[in-house]
Amino acid sequence: MLTLADAVQRGIRYNLGSIGAGDAAQSARARRLAAVAELLPNINGHVQETVQQINLAAEGLRISLPIPGFHFPTVVGPFNYFDARATLSEGVSLTGLRNIRASREDEHSAQLSLKDSRELVTLAVVGSYLQIIAAAARIQTANAQIQSAQAVYDQAIDRNRSGLNARIDVTRSLVELQTQRQRLTSLTNDFEKQKIAMARLIGMPMAQTFTLADAIPFREAPPPDVNAQIQRALTNRADLQAASAQVKAAEHARAAATAEHLPSVNVTGDYGAIGVNPSQSRGTFSATGAVQFPIFTSGRIRADIDQADAALAERRAEYEDARGRAEQDVRDAVLDLDAAAQQVRVAQSNRELAADALDQARDRFRAGVSDTVELVQAQETVATAEQDYINSTFAFNLAQVSLARATGDIEQSVPRLVTGR
């Protein structure tokens, strides 16, 4: 048994959309850590033991002293020395600080994009679940129609044997029975394919059989306030918040490019012990501080600023587009919800009328007042009414889920869809 909540959780865990968004969020976190590391000091250590012999003549050093019996050596060594030392380097610039802020906003945007991907996967899983429920209802309706057509066919045979109707009535009822069986075959095939698609969507082995545990009937609700839903979407939508974070990241990136005109501070130093051997080593150190400032960069900084300006304009345009898309999604979902609710009401009325018409046609056929033409037409009308009711109910429930997605509340709406609360 597969509940809707379990299907959603499996989809979020195993669907490629969620996995890819999670990897992108992890990559953004790594970029933020790399940006922070640029401003942290680098400390390295090394220990070395050196043995050296120098040929002074080869180095160009030739010394001749006017001292009888003394010759300046041409080869010095071998000699050795030991050095254990730690080095530190650190560079601080306003560009680096602003790059850190930009990377933080990028990471925040990636986390929001992950949330948006989870919502998209949830929408796909719930939609697939609803499709399977609708397909199962169509199969149930088709089976009922087959039973009805079989009863009419048996009755037509009995009446034909009794000489109360013509052979054409038997043929007509048999055609209707076989038509209903054809429909059942097609509906069963669609049902099985939808289950395979559902299994692939949620990372379940496609050969594994499962049944749905939750039924989601039609529950009519008062029409939502469009303006209130739009404000809710602008507040809650993860994709809109991600676009806003991208705008902030682009603003920090532009500020970082502008800060390239400013000086930067670099500090280097080392401390260690050096000597003939470790026991005879003495401590030594060095420290250097420098301020670097650009004088001529061949237009590189100007190019960086122009590039950052273009990226910022693009991010702002994407944010405005995301706002417009959020409002459009809400308005479309509200219209679909209202239209589907009206379709359900009409389909429910047609369903009752078609059932009553079928009962009357059966009574007229039993009484010998009419032939199977009227009865077959009534059966087709019932079948069409049942399919319309199933389709409109599916459309209504899907519109509810789409509205929840449009307002950024789809994960919380899944339990309400099942329980009705």
pLDDT at residue 364 tops 90? no
Domain residue spans of the chain: 4-42+98-265+304-419
Helix (H, G, I), strand (E, B) or coil at 269: strand
The Cα 233–Cα 227 span in angstroms is 10
In this structure, of 22-31, 68-77, 339-348, the range with the lowest mean pLDDT score is 68-77
Q: What Rg, from alpha-carbon coordinates, does the chain have?
A: 40
Q: Is the distance from CB of 304 to CB of 257 less than 8 angstroms? A: yes
Q: pLDDT tens digits for 164-213?
A: 677 887 888 888 889 889 989 999 999 999 999 999 999 888 888 888 88
The Cα 107–Cα 100 span in angstroms is 11
Q: For tokens 């500020």, name the residue.
A: 255
Q: pLDDT tens digits for 398-412?
A: 999 999 999 988 877
Q: Is the distance from CB of 4 to CB of 397 less than 8 angstroms? A: no
**Which residues sit opposite 282 in a β-bridge?**
274
Sequence letter at residue 45: G
Q: What is residue 273's DSSP assignment?
A: E
Nearest to 260 by CA among 224, 207, 226, 296: 296
Give pTM, 2 decimals.
0.81
| CATH number, span 4-42+98-265+304-419 | 1.20.1600.10
Give the percent of the chain with pLDDT over 90.
52
pLDDT at residue 420 tops 60? no
- Long-range contacts of the stretch 202-208 (C-beta < 8 A, 24+): 202/7, 202/10, 202/11, 202/14, 202/15, 202/125, 203/10, 203/11, 203/13, 203/14, 203/15, 204/10
φ, ψ at 43 (rounded to 5°) = -120, 125
Q: pLDDT tens digits for 39-62?
A: 889 999 999 988 888 887 777 777
pLDDT band of residue 421 (cuts 50, 70, 90) is low
Q: What is the mean pLDDT of residues 53-80?
A: 76
Q: pLDDT tens digits for 234-252?
A: 999 999 999 999 999 999 9
Q: Taking phi first (over 0 means left), then psi (-120 to 50 degrees means alpha), and beta for anything else, what does residue 30 get? A: alpha
pLDDT, residue 65, reads 67
- Long-range contacts of the stretch 115-118 (C-beta < 8 A, 24+): 115/238, 116/21, 116/237, 116/238, 116/239, 116/242, 117/17, 117/18, 117/20, 117/21, 118/12, 118/18, 118/21, 118/411
Helix (H, G, I), strand (E, B) or coil at 49: strand
